[in-house]
Amino acid sequence: MRSPPVAQEKFRNIGLIARSESEQALYSLRQLIHFLHGRDCTVILDKHIIGNLPEMGLQAASASQMGESCDLVIVVGGDGSLLGAARTLSRYNVPVLGVNRGHLGFLTDILPSEIESRVGQVLDGEYSTEKRFLLDLEVRRGKTVVGGGSALNDIVLLSGDSVHMIDFELMIDGHFVYGQRSDGLIISTPTGSTAYALSGGGPIMHPKLDAMVLVPLNPHTLTSRPLVVAGDSEIKIHITTEKVRPLVSCDGTEGIRLQVDDVIAIRKKPHRLQLIHPPGHDFYQACRSKLGWSSRPGDGS
């Protein structure tokens, strides 16, 4: 495991990840490659998009190989692209930087028009670092583990393709919390609190918080509210519904189909994502910009 870079360290071996189906992302990727070559950087391209840029003559690698060999990985796309990269790269402690070619861009905060200036600052050692924790998922059926995954934003229990509510029991650190009938439950990190959990009525949590929030989805009671728990908590969900086969999904990926008496276990992942930002990054400014919060009179931010 490499140590986190010090502020003066300059990155030389840089991996690039982007959405192959996005022409805008590929356009920015070409711009970024030319800029990095001009800075004498070695560029390694995600093997899934190497076929989209054959004229560049770059070496290809998987995300895992980038984690082992790169000093920095830059993701060009939306937050979804960075979420996918984070689930692989967090274990390698490699810094990750995001260029926004998506929608909100809470995680990918460099605008396409700023690529050369802002990436240049990072290459010169001018950046801040955040450690974001992920969640680990394990699904047990009796004594057998039938599925698992990890999430930077959230793990979501859903009723799947059924219009019926689901029944489940919630345990936190071995303590029974409640039995619930609802459309599901969102278990979110602070990173994910500005995503699906926010749409479900959950609170916005600062990224530095060591906490998780549990947000019920359309509960069949007026007294069920979002619950914030310690980041080191172990969450277990016992599926008690028989009429419906619900799903559990990590960061919106294809879910694991569940059945009655399955137990979902969720806990903090041992490795954290090392997310870096150019100078001047401000979480509250990002909230104002992305969520439409009011600015001070005369302040355009």
Domains, the chain, in order of start with CATH, read 13-127+278-291 (3.40.50.10330), 134-270 (2.60.200.30)
pLDDT of 127 reads 95
Active site (catalytic) residues:
79
CB 181 within 8 A of CB 167: yes
Residues 6+ apart with CB under 8 A from 15: 43, 44, 45, 46, 61, 63, 66, 69, 70, 72, 73, 74, 94
CA distance 300 to 71: 35
pLDDT of 1 reads 46
CB 55 within 8 A of CB 40: no
Residue type, 197: A
Low-confidence ranges of the chain (pLDDT < 50): 1-8
CA distance 170 to 176: 6
Q: In 104-113, which positions are buried (b, 16+ CB within 10 angstroms) versus exposed (e)?
A: ebbbbbbeee
Residues 6+ apart with CB under 8 A from 89: 63, 66, 67, 73, 96, 273
CA distance 274 to 261: 37
CA distance 192 to 190: 5
- Bridge partners of 256, per DSSP, are 248
pLDDT of 299 reads 61
Q: Residue 71 is encoded by which pair of tokens? A: 């000093």
Q: Residue 194 is encoded by which pair of tokens? A: 């500005």
Q: Residue 210 is encoded by which pair of tokens? A: 């060591």
Residue type, 294: S
pLDDT of 297 reads 66
pLDDT of 6 reads 44
* First vs last C-alpha separation in the chain: 39
